[in-house]
Amino acid sequence: VCMYISPLTAPVKATVVPTCLSVRVSTTHTRPLLCLYVGTWYELVIEVGRAMDSIMERPMVDGNGGTIGRSKSDQLPPAPASASTAQSLSRTASAETVLSTADVASLSRKSSFGKRSASGGSGAGGNSHGRSHIRKSRSAQLKLDMEDLVSSGAALSRASSASLGFSFTFTGFTPPPQDMMSSAELAPFSDDDVDLEAADTTRRKSLMAEPTLPIYLKFAEVKYRVAVKGTPREILSGISGSASPGEVLAMMGPSGSGKTTLLSMLGGRATAADGCISYNDEPFGKSLKRRIGFVTQDDVLFTHLTVKETLTYAALLRLPRTMTREQKKERAMDIIYELGLERCQDTMIGGSFVRGVSGGERKRVCIGNEIIINPSLLFLDEPTSGLDSTTALRIVQLLHDIAETGKTVITTIHQPSSRLFHKFDKLILLGRGSLLYFGKTAEAMPYFSSIGCNPLIAMNPAEFLLDLANGNTNDVSVPSELDDKVHMENQNLQDTNSKINLRPSAQDVHEYLVDAYEHRVAYKEKKKLLAPLPISDDMKATITSSKREWGTNWCQQYSILFCRGLKERRHDYLSWMRITQVIATSIILGLLWWHSDPTTPKGLQDQAGLLFFIAVFWGFFPVFTAIFTFPQERAMLNKERAADMYKLSAYFLARTTSDLPLDLFLPVIFMVIVYFMAGLKASAMRFFLSMLTVFLSIIAAQGLGLAIGATLLDIKKATTLASVTVMTFMLAGGFFVKRVPPFISWLRYLSFNYHTYRLLLKVQYDPVPDILMTSVPLDNGVTEVGALVAMIIGYRVLAYLSLRRVKASNG
């Protein structure tokens, strides 16, 4: 604490509020530099007396033993007593703290030391390089050199007390004993401890600058068609362009202009109807999937996983086998710090009904999922949609930083601000599926000016271009060709007494822009695309390889997906609503069948009704839980399978088995409550056999739900079909109808309710009384167990084949 007060001729007493000062030194260590704890109010007695003049004559000494030149105010002649006193009282009352010019400069340099060391120099090159790799974390914003700070503080203290004659008296304050301050705390930091920000920046620079295969992307005369009610409709018509490593190519255009379709074709997610797309002058191959990152417009992430878990699982699945598990986890942490996500790394992603990270953080997590593999090509579909201008600027700056490391970045963008617009290297402007402009972003406005289209008012260049792509010529100068066309059309309208158009139509503007580009620019750009690339044959061979490269083997994929499934779905399965539902149902059943007496025919029928309800309840419950599995995860499955993160068989088996521990937890609670409240056979063997029978029923019913959901992949259709199926199985279960007509009696053998009910009867009553027997006699129960096991396997095989069919149709 350094205070500067002008000389006084009389002592002044000022009462101040006690303070506590602590300085964070690094992200991992917090060492108190100066901690001043005062419990009550104290008087800070500032004695400025007659000794001032003699003390003022002493030279100020800095920390290195040199002298410090006096500031301007020290060299001024003494002011009158009254004025000086009033000025000092004013300063003291307002608690001002003023430093001399030299001291301010010194402290300013110290406080900005971390930033300067991280920026890597000044100038254009240094600024761009610094912007590329500096991601400040709030926990490490203040980096101070302890040795310099102590010496500077000592110099300031000596200079202040020597030149101003300060005497600080703190009544009741006892300094800590000397033995409490270890020599390690007083020792100066090494260079590694001083500038941790610079060390982090160096680590991040090495991460961003990792070598990657440069890929030159070219596409010429790309067309895409879809069938609408049997009629082919052209979405894209002859789009050409290119993107090189180190460039950010932006695709702009109004909604429905074909931006996402073109991006999907360039990223290998869709097949062009016509045209040529080449990567280093070679066609798309399966090996390219490991070198392409694709960020979809919708943030497809697991809701209940944290940011750290999301990126860690992506690293474990996608990074090559040559890296160890610890190296992959470290890579995930590098990405977290690279994207500035360290503050929210332990926060859940969240969703519509779960609170989580912000929109900007969610988008950065999606980008981190893709750049974690160090891709050569990065595609992003509207990464700034729904974000404020500042967050959108950070996202685009991040893309610029990624491109500067030798990667090719291609993104669609809807309506960028002027600052975002000028950060793109190249621009593609689409309108109604046609190419209106391709070239450097800086040359877009001069080009449209050359064809007679100029904004009449000051506006964002992106808004101006989107207005032209939409055919809107308000506040835009109209070319003479369009004026002449409008004039001729108006003459024809006057002859027919129709309404006159004052501005050209959107169709006329679109046709004019397409023709202007074809005649002025298209030929030159297509000629550039035909020129061969200066790359070696080895780089081309890497692209054309048809061999898939999996980051992990099948067993590792299964274990990783199993753990991820448990962490993701434990919140749903073990939620308080579901637990309350099961416990409440079991208590109601226990009260209704309280200590039922099986010795009488009526009590026996009552217990049989309870056993049938158990079979129906734990057949109905798992079905309607499992049918949501694959429809809800369809987007995630398509995204991860398109990136070759894992094999479908590993995902399917991990997905179905990770549900079992969670699915079997609630039935245990249910059976413990119901079994003993209802007065069923109090035998350990019968209890565990009943539990095993319920488990088999649950797994079989779950398989049916998985098969229905995987076959339809539509929640409404799957729910409807599951309702009809479960109701049919319940009616054919053998409790409501014991004499089923022969022509439909085969239906009971497909019902897991039927087999479960018969097994529960066998466990509780052996032999089963005739009053409870159905038309089919009950033997030792092996047939029923075999039927349930066959259902468990058969339904799951059907579900897997359905997913394979959907994958093949998507491909």
pLDDT tens readout for residues 554-564: 999 999 999 99
Whole-angstrom Cα distance, residue 472 to residue 161? Answer: 73
Are 559 and 671 part of one and the same domain?
yes
| Whether pLDDT at 637 is above 90 | yes
CA nearest neighbour of 763 among 811, 704, 707, 696: 696
3-state secondary structure of 331: helix
- Percentage of the chain surpassing pLDDT 90? 49
- Rounded CA gap, 626 and 700, in Å? 11
Domain co-membership, 529 together with 624: no
Q: What angle do CA 680, 683, 688 make, to 5 degrees?
A: 90
Q: Is residue 82, in this structure, part of any structural domain at all?
A: no
763-790 average pLDDT score: 83
Same domain for 577 and 630, yes or no, is yes
- Beta strands at 426-431 and 248-252: parallel, antiparallel or unpaired: parallel
Q: What is the pLDDT of residue 778?
A: 76
Query: Quick check: 791 pLDDT over 80?
Result: yes
Q: How many C-alpha atoms does 746 have within 13 Å on its Cβ side? A: 1
**Is the pLDDT assigned to residue 530 strictly greater than 90?**
no
DSSP E strands: which ranges in 269-387? 274-279, 292-295, 377-381
Domain assignment present for residue 646? The answer is: yes
What's the whole-number mean pLDDT along residues 489-498?
65
What pTM was estimated for this model as a whole? Answer: 0.72
* Cα separation, 459 vs 456, whole angstroms: 9
In this structure, the answer to whether residues 479 and 593 fall within a common structural domain is no
Residue with the larger pLDDT of the pair 180 and 374? 374
pLDDT band at 146 (very low <50, low <70, confident <90, very high): very low
Q: Does residue 717 carry a pLDDT above 70?
A: yes
pLDDT of residue 468: 94
- CB-based burial, 742-761: b 16+ in 10 Å, e otherwise: eeeeeebeebbbbbbbbbbb
User: Residue 356's closest CA among 308, 306, 309, 299?
Assistant: 306
DSSP annotation of 501 reads P
Are 528 and 627 part of one and the same domain? no
Q: What is the pLDDT of residue 524?
A: 86
When pLDDT is averaged across residues 711-717 and rounded to a whole number, the result is: 92
Q: How many domains does the chain have?
A: 2
For residues 634 and 736, membership in a common domain is answered with: yes
- Residues in the chain, total: 811
Tell me if 175 is assigned to some domain: no
How far, in Å, CA of 592 to CA of 59, rounded? 97
Please say whether the dihedral angle defined by the alpha carbons of residues 521, 439, 420 and 363, taken in this order, is positive or negative: positive
606 and 726 part of one domain: yes
- 215 lies in a domain? yes
374 or 734, higher pLDDT = 374
Q: How far is Cα 611 from Cα 754, in angstroms, rounded to an integer?
A: 11
The predicted structure's pLDDT at residue 143: 37
Q: Which residue has the tokens 């506006």?
A: 459
User: Is residue 520 situated within a structural domain?
Assistant: yes
Q: Kindly compute the dihedral angle of the four CA atoms of residues 480, 483, 487, 492, in this order, to the nearest 10 degrees.
A: 110
Domain CATH number, residue 278: 3.40.50.300
56 token code pair: 């003022």
Structure confidence at residue 178 (pLDDT):
41
Q: Are 795 and 707 in contact (CB under 8 A)?
A: yes
Task: Please state the separation of Cα 54 from the chain's center in Å.
Answer: 67
Token pair of 734, please? 């053998």
φ and ψ of 439, to 5 deg? 165, -165
Q: Is residue 625 part of a domain?
A: yes
> Half-sphere exposure of residue 6, counting CA atoms within 13 Å on the CB side?
19
**pLDDT value at 423 more than 80:** yes
pLDDT in tens, 270-323: 988 889 999 998 888 888 888 999 999 988 999 999 999 999 999 999 999 999
- Residue 365's pLDDT is 96
Do 517 and 597 reside in the same domain of the chain?
no
Please report how the helices 601-626 and 715-731 are oriented relative to each other, as an axis angle in degrees rounded to 10. Answer: 160
Q: Please tell me the predicted confidence (pLDDT) of residue 500.
A: 60
Judge whether 427 lies within some domain. Answer: yes
Which pLDDT band holds residue 774 (cuts at 50, 70, 90)? low
Of 443-457, 495-509, 559-573, which gets the smallest average pLDDT? 495-509
Contacts of residues 74-83 at CB distance under 8 Å and 24 or more positions apart, as own/partner, are 74/100, 74/163, 78/7, 79/6, 81/9, 81/10
Q: What is the pLDDT of residue 710?
A: 94
Mean pLDDT, residues 761-779 taken together: 78
Same domain? 783 vs 637:
yes
**pLDDT classification of 797: cutoffs 50, 70, 90:** very high
pLDDT at 89 over 50: no
Evaluate whether residue 528 is within a structural domain. yes
Q: Kindly state whether residues 531 and 560 are assigned to the same domain.
A: no
Question: What was the pLDDT predicted at 483?
Answer: 83
The DSSP element (H or E) to which 375 belongs, if any, is none
| Residue 434: its H or E element | strand 434-440
Q: Report pLDDT digits (tens) over 166-202.
A: 333 333 333 444 443 333 333 333 333 334 334 444 4
CA distance 659 to 569: 8
Q: What is the CA 358 to chain-centroid distance, rounded?
A: 9
Report the run of H or E that residue 634 belongs to, with start and end.
helix 634-642
516/651 same-domain check = no
pLDDT band at 253 (very low <50, low <70, confident <90, very high): very high
On average, the pLDDT of the chain sits at 77
Dmax of the chain from CA atoms? Answer: 122
Per-residue pLDDT for 646 more than 70? yes
**What whole-number distance in Å separates Cα of residue 70 and Cα of residue 468?**
65
Are residues 586 and 631 both part of a single domain?
A: yes
The confidence score (pLDDT) of residue 115 equals 36
Q: Report strand pairing: 67-68 vs 426-431.
A: unpaired
| Domain that includes residue 679, residue range | 554-807
What pLDDT does residue 96 have?
A: 35
Q: Which of 26-40, 117-131, 144-158, 365-379 has the highest mean pLDDT?
A: 365-379
In this predicted structure, the answer to whether residue 489 has a pLDDT above a threshold of 60 is yes
Amino acid at the residue 565:
G
Task: Give the range with max mean pLDDT: 32-36, 89-93, 468-472, 734-738.
Answer: 468-472
Tens digits of per-residue pLDDT, 657-702? 998 888 889 999 999 999 999 999 989 999 999 999 999 999 999 9
Q: Which two tokens stand for residue 31?
A: 């060492």
One-letter amino acid of 474 = N
- Averaged over 464-471, what is the pLDDT? 94
Percent of the chain clearing pLDDT 70 (strictly above): 71
Instruction: Report the pLDDT averaged over residues 462-469.
Output: 95
> Would you state the structure tokens that stand for residue 509, as one six-digit string?
């503007």
Three-class SS state of 81: helix
More confident residue, 18 or 620: 620
